[in-house]
Amino acid sequence: MSFESFLGELRADADEKARVAPPPGAVDCAVSVTSLDGEAAPAGQPEHPPHAYREVQEELGLDRLVLLPPEGGGDTDLLLKARDALAVSRGDLVEDCVRVFAGLGSGEDPARLADLAEAGIGGLKLTMLRGRETCSWDDLDRHVRRTHDLTGWNREIALDGSDLHELEQTIRGWPGETILSDCGGFRFSRSLTQPGFRALRRLIDRGRLWVKLACPYRISKTGDAGDTEVGEIARALVDWAPERMLWGSGWPNADGAPAREDEQERSGAAVLLDLLADWAPSKETRTRILLRNPEELYGFEPWPIAPEQ
């Protein structure tokens, strides 16, 4: 065997070891469905039905998920129907495998909120990015508190983490749990010494804030899923508080994430899952992020098959 062949085998072996094998019951915490099986998508939406995501689940070896409205909002009834289509796990092992967060603006009628909670909506998805705000900044605090008082919902929020030091006191006062999208959402600066990142660590230490390690390309200057600056943020967060980290594929947007030339045959979701091998090198930590943490936060029952140690 030539030296070049030997090196090639070493690289192939290293690549194989880098692939992340999720534990049984692993949860994908960032999934959007824009249409239903056998039905046309609503006007202006592409077709991304439940069965298409089921194929991703099979490829990655995932069992449970959190449904979020697509960018630009989505039909809550469609989300609930998609939940029903995906509720039973692969292999029909477990029947309660989906949680749903709805994108709702401020001023919703209390009776409607109660109806949505009764129907199975389990949380509030907020976007506070420039030009795409769910509600005005002036209404945000009241909206969060009112919704929690009426339904008990936690919330996920997409914002620029570089501004967190200005919102820290507001977020600290919110009832329930708060989840930050997009690896903390640091769009303006990805420095670990910036005030926003220090505020994020303080909020994590308070014990009611979670970070979703999802869609890293959204905060990369180049749109690269493997951006080194974003990777540094993700590794720092995992090192700081692995018990507060979640993971999500961002499907179907993940399929548009740039991949290396040698990864073109794999789905974007698979490429993003493998980033956890770099962000969280310990298998025990990955099990916490993919299984234990979402079970705790979203109220999933413990999976009947124990993960390998």
Nearest C-alpha neighbor of 26 from the set 303, 301, 309, 238: 303
What mean pLDDT do residues 256-270 have? 62
Distance separating the N- and C-terminal Cα atoms of the chain: 36
**pLDDT (0 to 100) of residue 268:** 87
| Strand ranges across the sheet with 98-102 | 27-31, 64-67, 98-102, 121-127, 154-158, 178-180, 209-213, 245-247
Does residue 56 have a pLDDT over 80? Answer: yes
What mean pLDDT do residues 59-63 have? 95
CA distances from 261 to 16, 33, 148, 268 (A): 16, 28, 46, 12
Nearest C-alpha neighbor of 64 from the set 93, 34, 33, 38: 93
SS3 content of the chain, % helix, strand, coil (to 5): 45, 10, 40
**pLDDT (0 to 100) of residue 264:** 52
**pLDDT (0 to 100) of residue 32:** 95
Give φ, ψ of 220 to 5 degrees: -80, 140
Domains of the chain (ranges, CATH numbers) = 103-298 (3.20.20.140)
**pLDDT (0 to 100) of residue 295:** 98
- Predicted TM-score (pTM) of the model is 0.90
Per residue in 95-122, pLDDT (tens digit) is 999 999 999 999 899 999 999 999 999 9
